[in-house]
């Protein structure tokens, strides 16, 4: 991956529906060059997907929280499979600090967050919630 590829990725991350002809003009190359580079980045697995970033508050999900949980030994794959299916669990990460799993969740209210934890997340067999960290302000969010 060279500097041109990195610039293309940066522009696509800002707006994935930006026309290739505009990217080409901005980077002073041909539209065909951009098309070929993007195709190569996709086929090489560098670009996994093109997506849409939404405003979570506009969708009625202004509350963000991180949950640190522990998983019984040997149960990680099963727990992760269940957690990725829970609506409003935005991210699932394996960690090795105060637990085994770090979740990023969104909810319409603190009450709804508590209910989701009690009825959906704690219902996952072999999972124990250690910490719930509500977020006060968000300055940058990947989605």
Q: How many Cβ atoms from other residues are within 10 Å of residue 113's Cβ? A: 22
C-alpha–C-alpha distance, residues 132 and 80, integer Å: 18
State the residue range of the domain holding 24: 3-43
**37 and 68 inside one domain:** no
Residue 57 lies in a domain: no
Number of domains in the chain: 2
On whether residue 77 sits in a domain, the answer given is yes
pTM for this predicted structure: 0.77
128 with 73, same domain: the answer is yes
List the chain pLDDT tens, one digit each, 143 residues: 899 999 999 999 889 999 999 999 999 999 999 999 999 999 999 999 998 888 888 899 999 999 999 999 999 999 999 999 999 999 999 999 899 999 999 999 999 999 999 999 999 999 999 999 999 998 988 75
CATH of the domain at 87: 3.30.70.920
User: Which residues lie below 8 Å from residue 130, measured CB to CB, with a gap of 6+?
Assistant: 68, 69, 70, 98, 99
Q: How many residues does the chain have?
A: 143
55 within domain boundaries: no
Looking at the domain assignment, is residue 39 inside a domain? yes
């Amino acid at each position: 991956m060279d500097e041109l590829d990195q610039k293309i990725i940066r522009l696509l991350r800002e707006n994935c529906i930006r026309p290739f002809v505009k990217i080409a003009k901005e980077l002073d190359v041909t539209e065909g060059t951009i098309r070929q580079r993007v195709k190569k980045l996709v086929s090489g697995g560098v670009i996994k997907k093109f997506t849409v970033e939404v405003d979570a508050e506009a969708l009625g999900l202004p509350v963000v929280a991180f949950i640190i949980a522990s998983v019984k030994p040997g149960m990680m794959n099963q727990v992760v499979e269940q957690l990725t299916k829970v609506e409003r669990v935005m991210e699932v990460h394996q960690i090795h600090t105060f637990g085994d799993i770090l979740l990023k969740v969104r909810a319409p209210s603190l009450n709804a967050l508590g209910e989701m934890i009690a009825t959906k997340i704690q219902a996952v067999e072999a999972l124990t919630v250690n910490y719930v960290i509500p977020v006060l302000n968000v300055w940058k969010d990947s989605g």
